[in-house]
Amino acid sequence: MTEKKSTKKAKLKGTHTKFEKKMSHAQKQYLVRQSKDPYTAKAQQMGYRSRAAFKLLELNEKFNLLKPNQTIVDLGAAPGGWCQVVGEILNNNCRIIACDLLEVDPLPNVTFIQGDFTTDEIWDEVRAVAGEGGVDVVLSDMAPNTAGSGNIDHLRSMGLVEIAADSATHLLKLGGHFACKIFQGGEEKKFADSLKERFEKVHFAKPKSSRAESREIFIVALGFKG
């Protein structure tokens, strides 16, 4: 019996070692960072679905984005951490329209639309659910599939934030707010300047919960002018 158990353990260990060998260097680094990251541990303790929840908590504390009775659109919502934060801050006294390619498990007051937001079909569905009255806040945590090249990742990110910003201008009520994630690379200032034509104030922000080595920052545009 002991010999069989030892053989089984050896086989499992060998399988685990083979799995580790197949992982890329970037994947291994990611797992190491996750295991040491205090925000990942804190998210698990507090029941948040992702560490990204703390980024929205910090943005809201600084810019006061969220208020009761709002309708909020959350783009790139999976796994639902930002939806959790919105519901928590507003005590579920809100309406959330969430969208992502990946499935999001149900949450209170969240209407989830699964699909590619950059397609006309999904955009039309989001707009239909939002209704003619418009929404109060558009949030975008969308990120491209990274290629490992800073320039390529930046340009892919810019493509997504431009779509998100254009969508916000069609969804927001007057005075509404827009916040999005962007990978730095040179075009972000030009993008922020373009938002200043449509919003009263535009800010760059890097929450403490965003890793220092990460290129991600957030642009927060307040007071939609129409």
**pLDDT one-digit tens code per residue, 203-216:** 999 999 887 888 88
> From CA 182, how far away is CA 142, in angstroms rounded?
9
Tokens of 167: 């969508």
Higher pLDDT: 104 or 11? It is 104
Which parts of the chain are beta strand (E)? 70-75, 94-100, 110-114, 135-140, 172-183, 199-205, 216-224
Domains of the chain by residue range: 2-36, 48-224
> From CA 182, how far away is CA 189, in angstroms rounded?
11
Q: What is the CATH number of domain 48-224?
A: 3.40.50.150
- CA distances to 51, 76, 174 from 208, in Å: 12, 21, 30
Per-residue pLDDT at 106: 95
> pLDDT tens digit string along 141-196?
987 665 555 577 778 888 899 999 999 999 999 999 999 998 888 788 999 999 99
Tokens of 121: 């079909």
Per-residue pLDDT at 26: 46
Tokens of 188: 């972000």
Beta strand pairing call for 94-100 and 110-114: parallel
> pLDDT tens digit string along 23-60?
555 445 544 455 567 878 898 998 899 999 999 999 99
Per-residue pLDDT at 5: 46
> pLDDT tens digit string along 45-101?
988 999 999 999 999 999 999 999 999 999 999 999 999 999 999 999 999 999 999
Checking phi first, is residue 203 left (phi over 0); if not, alpha (psi -120 to 50) or beta?
beta
Query: Is residue 94 a contact partner of residue 68, using CB atoms and an 8 Å limit?
Result: yes
Helix 81-89 vs helix 53-63: angle between axes, to the nearest 10 degrees?
Answer: 40
Task: Quote the Cα angle for 158-160-165, to 5°.
Answer: 90
Catalytic residue positions, numbered: 181
> From CA 82, how far away is CA 78, in angstroms rounded?
9
